[in-house]
Amino acid sequence: MIESAGLGAVYSFVTVHAAVSPAAAALLPYTVATVELDDGPRLVGRIEPAGGTAIGDRVQPRFLDHADWTELCFEAVPADGPVDGSKGPRA
């Protein structure tokens, strides 16, 4: 197991305006990004909140709990620096 702070930068992104399923309709519009972690790998996750994302933006992980699963999202790193810890904030 490799631990990571999950901090990185937006490598690419797309903002979705049409629902791919009825369950996704409530999320519109939403932004999905490829994030290049400072540790090297790239991960794909939703950016919270949607919109206002640019390539190169600094992001940190945010874990969003759903009824039956947990979603990895990313959010902008605050001006006063990233949240400490490898798991990031939970919603």
What would the pLDDT profile of 61-88 be if each residue is shown by its tens digit? 999 998 999 999 999 998 788 876 444 4
pLDDT over 70 (residue 50) = yes
**Domain range annotation of the chain:** 8-76
**Confidence tier at 35 by pLDDT (50, 70, 90):** very high
pTM of the model: 0.81
- Closest Cα to residue 50, out of 24, 69, 78, 27? 27
**And the tokens for 41?**
């790998």
Say if CB 53 and CB 73 are below 8 A apart: no
Residue 88 tokens, joined: 């990031």
* pLDDT above 60 for 4: yes
CA distance 41 to 20: 27
